[in-house]
Amino acid sequence: MIGTCCIEEISDLVQLAKNIYDGSTEQELYQEFLECLKDSKSELLLFKENRIMIGFAQFQIRTDYVEGTSSSPCGYLEGVFVLDDYRRQGIGKKLVEAGEQWCKEQGCVEIGSDCHIDNLESFKFHQQIGFREVSRNIHFVK
């Protein structure tokens, strides 16, 4: 069942989110999700089965430029994750569809997303649920 995250579920959400936000500490994720709950331009969706958190999707409404889009505001899929044992059952797709509906209710006609260039699993997932690639970036540091 898909529902919106509440404050009592943030700690469990952090445990799932660590799987994809590997550059963030648990405390940073907890704080970020707490801020999301207070922000009307953010949505945290959970998929739970028998009270067990199996997956989540994080959406944001962006008014800055989103690569490849032509409208503003634009919905943005910040992250989506489903536990390995529950993948390929349509849970991720259902989470994204629920987030897309939320974005439409916020006045968005486009939804953006991204993934790391070497994350082929995420790349394939995005393509399977209807996203199309619009650009690639190469980042440099010296």
Tell me what pLDDT residue 119 has: 86
User: How do residues 1-56 score in pLDDT, each as one tens digit?
Assistant: 999 999 999 999 999 999 998 889 999 999 999 999 999 999 999 999 998 999 99
User: What's the first-to-final CA gap in the chain, in angstroms?
Assistant: 47
Whether the CB-CB separation of 25 and 63 falls below 8 Å is answered with no
Tell me what pLDDT residue 94 has: 97
- DSSP β-bridge partners for residue 49: 52
User: How do residues 90-109 score in pLDDT, each as one tens digit?
Assistant: 999 999 999 999 999 999 99
Rounded Cα–Cα distance for residues 53 and 36 (Å): 18
Q: What is the mean pLDDT of residues 56-85?
A: 92
Per-residue pLDDT at 138 exceeds 90: no
Mean pLDDT of all residues in the chain?
A: 92
Tell me what pLDDT residue 69 has: 87
Tell me what pLDDT residue 141 has: 67
Rounded Cα–Cα distance for residues 11 and 53 (Å): 11
Rounded Cα–Cα distance for residues 58 and 24 (Å): 15
Tell me what pLDDT residue 77 has: 94
User: How do residues 42-65 score in pLDDT, each as one tens digit?
Assistant: 999 999 999 899 999 999 999 988
